[in-house]
Amino acid sequence: MKKLIIVPTYNEKDNIDKIAPKVLEQDDLIDILIVDDNSPDGTGELADEMARDNSRIKVLHRKGKLGLGSAYVAGFNYGIEHKYDLIFEMDADFSHDPKYIPELIKASEEYNLVLGSRWVKGGGVEGWPWYRYTASWGANLAARLLLSLKPKDITSGFRCYHREVLEGINLHGIISSGYAFQEELIYRTQKAGFSIGEIPITFVDRKEGQSKMTKKEIITSSKAIIKLFMHRRGVGQIVKFGIIGATGTAIDFGILNILAVVFKVNVYLSASISFIVAATNNFYWNKRWTFRGAANNKKMHLQFVQYLIVAGIGFSLNLVILRICVPAFSSAFKLENSAPLVVNLSKVVSTLLVMTWNFLGSKKWVFKG
Ligand code: GDD
Ligand code: MN
């Protein structure tokens, strides 16, 4: 099994010559590929010297700081071209202890991709202030939820891929270049049906040099996550449900205003009528459009009954929220219960909550086969 450890570098001259021998001694079939972005501190020249003395060390030079993600893509292409069986990602700064390499190799017998993970039992971080710890953990959780990713440490930069994974996930289509790159690769790997395993590692904060993680990086990465999220199947469903919800809401607000404001019908009765009309409208269009083709094996009348139950609970929820909001807003603004501001503001609050409930009920129950 030929193994390639890719180490991207930008200003790592104090680390690179120390980490390389430690990596090579882990296994006889390991080569190192240093991908340097023309580091101003001379890391690239040092890497060339190392490569002259040791044929197991390879170097790729790029014109300038083009980002961690594209550095890895360049390295992956090299690994694919030269038919390495296992291709690794690893930092130069000793945050990733080379002693874990044999464990990653062992686990790769079972998984297509293995992550060195800080957030599984036995893993952790050493030397991070609490805010960096919290930020990393939170960003990780948010991205996991948005993209439904199964692994615990999706930003980990210590990994072992089988070459087949990198050949199978279309490296050219990657949209993120910085740190979000790590998440995007997991997203693609999971979507392509490859298995992903994790082994616990202790990530040690760097002692030499500086982290390249900047505020700008964090913003770019968050944007990339949102872009990926928008590409997902199922997001279209939320958008459709939202559009139908908006038309239903317009009907709801319209009828409520006509009854309660113009005709001074009791506000709760008005809200009940408008809600029922809007709910029927929403069911019809969601069946036709949002969840079209879903749960076709289910009898239509059963679906309708289930929908009425969901909507009925939503409707009660709506009344309860109005019952709380209307008096609260009317006393807060010193206005009548039927004042347009009181009625509509209350309705906004209840609509948001009830629509969330309705979406989940529709998706997970009514239109689930
Ligand atoms: N060639 C190249 N180009 N290398 C880069 C670039 C770049 O633009 N930016 C960073 N590197 C190299 C660094 O020299 C180092 O070897 C490695 O990539 C990681 O960079 P650090 O700046 O040390 O990253 P970090 O410690 O903040 O982030 C680490 O943890 C993150 C999760 O918390 C990395 O492992 C990330 O991949 C990981 O997402
Ligand atoms: Mn680092």
Q: What is the pLDDT of residues 339-357, one digit of tens each?
A: 999 999 998 999 889 888 9
Q: Which ligand is nearest to the CA of 221?
A: 1
Q: What is the pLDDT of residues 10-55, one digit of tens each?
A: 999 999 999 999 999 999 999 999 999 999 999 999 999 999 999 9
Q: What is the pLDDT of residues 277-325, one digit of tens each?
A: 988 898 999 999 999 888 878 888 888 889 889 988 988 998 999 999 9
Residue span(s) of the chain under CATH 3.90.550.10 come to: 3-231
Q: What is the pLDDT of residues 92-126, one digit of tens each?
A: 999 999 999 999 999 999 999 999 999 999 999 99
Q: Which ligand is nearest to the CA of 91?
A: 1
Instruction: Supply the pLDDT for residue 263.
Output: 96
DSSP string, 111-126: -SEEEEESSSTT-EEE
Kindly list the protein residues that place their beta carbon closer than 5 angstroms to ligand 2, a single-atom ion. Answer: 91, 93, 95, 206
Nearest to 151 by CA among 106, 183, 109: 183
Ligand 1 centroid from CA 211, angstroms: 7
* CATH number of the structural domain 3-231: 3.90.550.10
Q: 95 CB under 6 A from ligand 1?
A: yes
pLDDT band with cut points at 50, 70 and 90 for residue 369? confident
Phi, then psi, of 64 in degrees rounded to 5 = -165, -175
Instruction: Supply the pLDDT for residue 308.
Output: 80
Distance CA 158, CA 105 (A): 12
* In contact, 119 and 53? CB cutoff 8 Å: no
pTM of the full predicted structure? Answer: 0.72
DSSP string, 291-333: TTTTTTTS-HHHHHHHHHHHHHHHHHHHHHHHHHHHHHHHHHT
